[in-house]
Chains A and B, each alone.
Chain A
Amino acid sequence: MKFPAFDYARPAGLDAALDLLAGEAAVLSGGQSLSPMMGFRVARPEKLVDISRLSALRGAALEPDGTLVIGAAVTHAMIEDGALPGPLGGFLARVAGGIAYRAIRNRGTIGGSLCQADPAADWPCVMSLLDAVLVLRRAGGERQVPVRAFLLGHLMTAIEPGELLTVIRIPPQPGARFGMAKSTRKLGEFAEGIAAACLTPGAARVTLGALEVPPATLAVDPALVTGPQPARLTSSPLYAAVDAALKAADATDPAGYRHHLAVLTGCRALIEAAQP
């Protein structure tokens, strides 16, 4: 199981990278998803442009209005270890710490994960919840795409040839509390159910991943979240509400286990967000 042949370049700067990408090349970031696909020879890029060390993509900052800006080549481990400033840092550190395994997190990047667009992955779900905006650069240009318009489906995004995801911009979330829930058969493996939730005064929303479609963000009556919950969540009004909302989104087979897990993890994420 060896990689097929490819050319490799590691440009010193962002502009050089964009120039290389303009001519039929694929991006290598952490490579933690791309490499296995190359090993199985289901991905066979002719040229890889390694952007993992571009310092322009390795930082994070809080803008004056509270927008959190994260470089696309920031690794999961950096986020886990507290690289993100501001009020979201703690929540995102926790999310990052739950991705795969530390050895994978040491190399895998947030931008790579978003561009991989695996529906079961953490960042597509969480960034959808947070209404992140992705900055896509190309040689001589840039556009900003809301993450929900970026994620098109299983391993599909709106990125175009020659474009590079450089920055993830997360708008401020005043007064928000967050929760995250995952269901896996084995710790660190692909999630069968994944959800992230946000609770603000007067509003609750939850984003459900691991669906056949891009992550679905649903609004929930916050009163259902903040009240006491029965031990069996499946018999709670909250479960019924999330279930109804997901059915309305028409994203799953409503009789199937995956639908149930999506709803269940959604409830758990919401309840966690409501924890004092």
Chain B
Amino acid sequence: MDSHHDSNLSNSSQVGQPFTRLEDRRHLAGQGGFVADLRLPGIRDVAFLRSSMAHARLGPIAVPADAPAGAVWTAEAFHGLVKPIRAVLDRPAYRPSDQPVMAEGTVRHVGEIVAAVLADNRALAEDLAERLEPAYDPLPAITDPEQALLPESAPLHPGWADNVYMTMGRTTGDFDAMVARADVHVTRHLRMERVAAMPLETRGCVARFDRGSGVLTLWIATQRPHLIRTMLAEQLTGIEERDIRVIAPDVGGGFGGKSNLYPEEILLAAMAMRLPHPVRWIEDRWEHMVSASHSRQHVQTITAHATKEGELLAVDVRFLVDGGAYAMRTSTPAVEANMASSVLPGPYKFQAYRFEATTVATNKTPVGPFRGVGRPAAVFAMERIMEETAAAIGMDPVEFRLRNMIQPEEHPFTTISGLVYDSGDYPSLLTKAAQSIRAPGKGDAPANIAIGIGFGCYTEQTAHGAQEWHRRGSPFVYGFEAARVRIDPSGGVLVSTGIQSHGQGLETSLAQIAGDVLGVSYDRVRVVHGDTELCPYGMGTVASRSLVMAGGAVEGACQRLAAKIRRIAAHNLDCAADDVLLAGGEAQGPGGSIPLDAVARIAYLELQKLPLDVEPALDILYCYRPPVETGAYSSGVHAAKVAVDLDSGHVKILDFVVAEDCGRVINPLIVDGQIAGGVAQGIGQALLEEFQYDDQGQPTKVTLADYLVPGAPELVNVRIIHQETLSPFTVHGAKGLGEGGAIGPPAAVANAVSDALRQFGVDVRRVPIRPEDLWEALRP
């Protein structure tokens, strides 16, 4: 591992170590606790009847005469109990659409909830749900973003003049002059199709209302328990936020797909409040395919203007995103196009930038965040055009990129789109990745195989604070994370935090941070998260922020606790607090030491040994708000080597290199795992994954046998090169890295395939890359 800067931390024996995870034990013993594993007495199951039509007027729902009383809940049953979901964005160009919690009058996508059915078990609920007969009067369906813009496409939402959620554009720099100066102008029309996070655990929710205390408890497979609670309080009538407890237990992957507020969560809450028993809904995979948020789906036009010597002068891009039927809260459908236009410049500098970002409504499942949000699509567009521009100039694509990259000494660097990069060395990353992927050469291949190498370079905005969220117009201006750290009378350390760990290993990484400060081994630290009653308020695990923000909070809380421990120890060791070192589970003074558990006992139960000016107990809440709020930018270069079978059009990944810089690595094992996992999803998006709809708006890929996520044989071992450029803006110099793995692969793989097929005049215009498309393009 290269280290560009020395550590800014002392006494860091655990941070930076590849410790094995504390989470593993329970999962390997089959003792994880996911929402579907919960057992509550008297619990009954809910199945939803979902629209089979993409767009229709919804008439009365015929209920079988033998349906038990109280079994079927249609929209009227929730009148006055719940409010429609409205996702807002504080931007004048944005137009909100109400998302009904349950359809009424109109259905706008296959999978929209039409009725809820309650029964003693899920099978019985499904039996009754399939016997309900809603009256549908079909309406024309909009199934493609370009179709949504046509004048003949009637507006899907009441009061709208067209189908545009939001459109915005801006020109920065002297665009016309740069275009005039340029020798080459390269344009590509590109598509990135509709995909989804597709965690292996589907969504799920259990709700119980305690009549004695008035407390509504929800167990939800969610990434953001506190925010869901805040929003539930707004959506439900007759209950205060104080009386809602949201618990996110073990969550089986999220990747952004479990970060929004979903109608099912509101419905289950409202039902539980009116029933004398708990209710449960565990999503099945078909439901997940049609009703959990989808992502991406871009139609792009991008033009690069460059000199023949290889100077990139200007970029012109248009993003059109299919936002689906409704605006989800909190992401809104506009998040994808807006983010893409803002991050498009990536690691490059150029003189003029013009963009237009448009998000439209269609009769498809609403879109939400998925690992990368906007960046995989922006990097796909930018890196494809860099590749094609290099080819047009006749320059090596690596050399062309290096020529136009921001140099390390230029940081902090403000991009042409207005982002402030904190640190990074992009040319170094690209050089290392290129050397590594090119080292073995392309090798000998039979004549039916074409081999190519491609790159995807990106910057990844992570852990941004209030300033950035406010700039984006987010109604919730996130910007802090909290940690409560307490040490028991027996010396055990409990850290509770507002983030939610669902695979990221934060129970381990945060324990390493706490362990270093408090001088105890990380496995003596228990990290509690995901419970709004046990944990301080927090934003949850989204936007590559948890390690940096919660890490900052844990560090700060532990530092304050450590200061207190030193004072107690100093008092009892008869030395100065500054002379006390916390290490090896002890408070060590110059002339002796006290075990941590003895200090803790003093703080709670032996107050006669506690100085009068020290508050009893070892229990601290600390909120971390970064001093600079524009974010810490990770960066990376993905390099792919592929083999294209010219006879079949099939693409095989031969090698994949990631050179990345996420600043200080807290746990290399976990960091590498995040990268490899992200790359797998990105390769899925490059080669396999896409939803498709017929012209009636019927989804044609609704099982895991046709929405194909990569299996082990489709992937290779990702070779990872680390570079550590510490962020000056974060506590540990760390930067977020949760999303980076998924950002680069569509671009890198598409560029590799284009490299392989350049000899035939074929280049990739669409991901996923389909064998039939390559075969069609390659036919004589």
A interface residues with partner B (beta carbon < 8 Å): 1-5, 36, 40-41, 183, 185-190, 193, 230-234, 257, 260-261, 264
For this complex, 14 residue pairs linking A to B, each with C-beta atoms less than 8 Å apart, are A1-B285, A1-B286, A2-B126, A40-B703, A41-B126, A183-B650, A186-B688, A186-B708, A186-B711, A188-B711, A231-B446, A232-B647, A257-B649, A257-B772
Is the Cβ of A2 less than 8 Å from the Cβ of B711?
A: no
- Given A232-B646, A232-B647, A257-B776, A187–B448 Cβ distance below 8 Å? no
Verify if B19 is at the interface (C-beta below 8 Å from A): no
Residues 246-290 of B at the A interface (beta carbon under 8 Å): 284-286
Residues of B within 8 A of A190 (CB): 705
> Is B705's CB under 8 angstroms from A189's CB?
yes
What residues on B are CB-neighbors of A36 within 8 Å?
Answer: 703
Q: Which residues of A contact B708 (CB under 8 A)?
A: 185-186, 189
B710 with A183: CB separation less than 8 A = no
Q: A190 vs B775: C-alpha distance in the bound complex, in angstroms?
A: 20
Partner of B123 from A2, A185, A264 at Cβ < 8 Å: A2
8 residue pairs, one from A and one from B, having the closest CB atoms: A231-B447, A2-B123, A1-B284, A257-B772, A187-B713, A231-B448, A186-B708, A231-B446
Within 8 A of A (CB), among B98-130: 122-123, 126-127, 130
* B598 CB → nearest A CB, Å: 54
> How far is it, in angstroms, between the C-alpha of A257 and the C-alpha of B647 when the chains are bound?
11
Chief secondary structure at chain A's binding surface? loop
Cβ-neighbour of A232 out of B284, B447, B705 (below 8 A): B447
What is the 8 Å Cβ interface bit string for chain B, positions 284-315, against chain A (1 contact, 0 not)? 11100000000000000000000000000000
Contact-size category for B: 20 to 34
Residues of B within 8 A of A188 (CB): 711
Please give the distance in Å from B130's CB to the nearest CB on chain A: 6
Determine the distance from Cα of A261 to Cα of B648 in the docked complex, in whole angstroms. Answer: 7
Residues of A within 8 A of B646 (CB): 232, 234
Interface centre among A2, A190, A230 (most CB of B within 10 A): A2
* A234 to B778 Cα, complex, angstroms: 11
Residue of A2, A40, A231 near B122 (CB, 8 A) is A2
Q: Which residue of A lies closest to B202 (CB)?
A: A1
The interface residues of chain B lying within 8 Å CB-to-CB of A264 are 647-648
**Cβ of B32 < 8 Å from any Cβ of A?**
no
| Shortest Cβ distance from residue A40 to the other chain B in the assembled complex, whole angstroms | 7
For A186, list chain B residues within 8 Å (CB).
688, 708, 710-711, 713-714
Whether the Cβ atoms of B771 and A185 lie closer than 8 Å is yes
B404: min CB distance to chain A, Å: 36
User: Whose C-beta in chain B lies nearest to the C-beta of A257?
Assistant: B772
Q: Assess the B648–A5 pair: CB atoms within 8 A.
A: no
A3 contacts across to B, CB distance below 8 A: 123
CB pair A257 B286 closer than 8 Å: no
Residues of A within 8 A of B714 (CB): 186-187
Question: Closest Cβ of chain B: how far from A261's Cβ, in Å?
Answer: 7
CA A264 to CA B705, docked complex, whole Å: 23
* Closest B residue by C-beta to A187: B713
Contact of B127 among A4, A185, A234 (CB under 8 A): A4
Inter-chain contact B711/A187, CB cutoff 8 Å:
yes
Q: Which residues of A contact B122 (CB under 8 A)?
A: 2
List B435-478 residues whose CB lies under 8 Å from chain A.
446-448
A185 adjacent to B688 (CB under 8 Å): yes
Interface of B is mostly: loop
Inter-chain contacts of B647 with A (CB < 8 A): 232-234, 264
Nearest Cβ on chain A to B132's Cβ, whole angstroms: 14
Asked if A183 meets B123 with Cβ closer than 8 Å, knowing A232-B447, A232-B448, A257-B776, the reply is no
* Residue on A nearest B708 in the bound complex, by CB: A186
Cα separation A187 to B286 with both chains bound (whole Å): 22
Please give, as numbers and ranges, the residues of chain A lying within 8 Å of B448 by CB-CB distance.
231-233
Residue-wise interface mask of B (61-88) relative to A, using a CB-CB cutoff of 8 A (1 in contact, 0 not): 0000000000000000000000000000
Chain A residues lying within 8 Å of B446, measured Cβ to Cβ, are: 231
Kindly report which residue of chain B lies nearest to residue A183, judged by CB atoms. B648
Residues of the A chain whose Cβ atoms lie less than 8 Å from the Cβ of B650:
183
CA distance A234 to B126 in the complex (A): 50
Residues on B with C-beta less than 8 A from A189 are 705, 708
Considering the chains assembled together, what is the distance between the CA atoms of A5 and B121 in angstroms? 13
Partner of A257, one of B123, B127, B771: B771
In the complex, chain B residues 635-655 whose Cβ is within 8 Å of any chain A Cβ: 646-650
B688 touches A260 (CB 8 A): no
Cβ contacts under 8 Å, A230 to chain B: 447
Residues of A with C-beta under 8 A to B703: 36, 40
Query: What residues of chain B lie closer than 8 Å to A183, measured between beta carbons?
Result: 648, 650
Q: What residues on B are CB-neighbors of A231 within 8 Å?
A: 446-448
Q: How far is the CA of A1 from the CA of B50 in the complex (A)?
A: 13
B711 vs chain A, min Cβ distance (A): 6
Report chain B residues within 8 Å CB of A232.
Answer: 447-448, 646-647
Q: In the docked arrangement, what's the CA distance between A234 and B448, Å?
A: 9
Give the distance to chain B from A265, nearest Cβ to Cβ, in Å.
Answer: 9
Q: Which residues of A contact B286 (CB under 8 A)?
A: 1, 40
In whole angstroms, what is the CA distance A88 to B772 when docked?
34
Q: Which residues of the partner chain B approach A233 to less than 8 Å between Cβ atoms? A: 448, 647
Cβ–Cβ contact A5 & B705, under 8 A: no
Provide the residues of chain B in CB contact with A261, threshold 8 Å: 648
A209 CB to nearest B CB, Å:
16
Complex Cα–Cα for A231 and B710 (A): 29
Closest A residue, CB atoms, query B776: A257
B200-245 contacts to A (CB < 8 Å) = none
Assembly CA distance A234 to B713 (angstroms): 26
The chain A residue with its CB closest to the CB of B704 is A189
Measured between alpha carbons, how far is A264 from B649 in the docked complex, in Å?
A: 11
What is the bound-complex CA distance between A264 and B645, given in angstroms?
12
How many angstroms between the C-alpha atoms of A78 and B284 in the bound complex?
32
Residues in A neighbouring B649, C-beta threshold 8 A: 257
Give B218 Cβ to nearest chain A Cβ, in Å. Answer: 23
A193 to B446, CA, bound (A): 22
For the complex, what is the distance from the CA of A260 to the CA of B126, rounded to whole Å?
42
Distance between Cα atoms of A36 and B650 in the complex (Å) = 28
Residues on B with C-beta less than 8 A from A257 are: 649, 771-772, 775-776
Chain B residue nearest in CB terms to A230 = B447
Contacts of A5 in B (CB 8 A): 123, 127
List residues of chain B with CB within 8 A of the CB of A1: 126, 284-286
A41-B130, A233-B647 given. 10 additional CB < 8 A pairs?
A185-B688, A186-B711, A193-B648, A231-B447, A232-B448, A232-B646, A234-B647, A257-B772, A261-B648, A264-B648
Q: Distance in Å from the Cβ of A255 to the closest Cβ of chain B? A: 10
Contacts of B688 in A (CB 8 A): 185-186
CB closest chain-B residue, reference A190: B705
**B700 → chain A closest CB, angstroms:** 14
- CB closest chain-B residue, reference A188: B711
- State how many angstroms separate the Cβ of B780 from the closest Cβ of chain A: 8
**Minimum Cβ distance to chain B for residue A99 (Å):** 14
> For A260, what are the chain B residues with a Cβ–Cβ distance below 8 Å?
775
Contacts of B130 in A (CB 8 A): 41
A1 to B728, CA, bound (A): 51
Docked complex: B154-205 residues within 8 A CB-CB of A = none
The CA of A87 and the CA of B183, in the complex, are separated in Å by: 68
CA gap between A232 and B285 in the complex, in Å:
41
> Which chain B residues in 461-514 approach chain A with CB under 8 Å?
none
Contacts of B713 in A (CB 8 A): 186-187
Minimum C-beta distance from A223 to chain B (A): 22
A246 CB to closest chain B CB, in angstroms?
16
How far in angstroms is the closest Cβ of chain B from A218?
19
**Chain B 710-746 interface residues, beta-carbon cutoff 8 Å to A:** 710-711, 713-714
Give Cα A4–Cα B128 distance, bound, in whole angstroms: 11
Can you name the residue of chain B whose Cβ is closest to the Cβ of A234?
B647
Bound complex: CA A186 to CA B705 (Å):
9
Q: What CA separation (Å) do A257 and B776 show in the bound complex?
A: 8
CB B173 to nearest CB in A, in angstroms, measures 43
| Residues in B whose Cβ lies below 8 Å from that of A234 | 646-647
A5 and B119 CA atoms in complex are apart in Å by: 15
- Least CB distance from A78 to B in Å reads 24
In angstroms, Cα B645 to Cα A260, docked, is 14
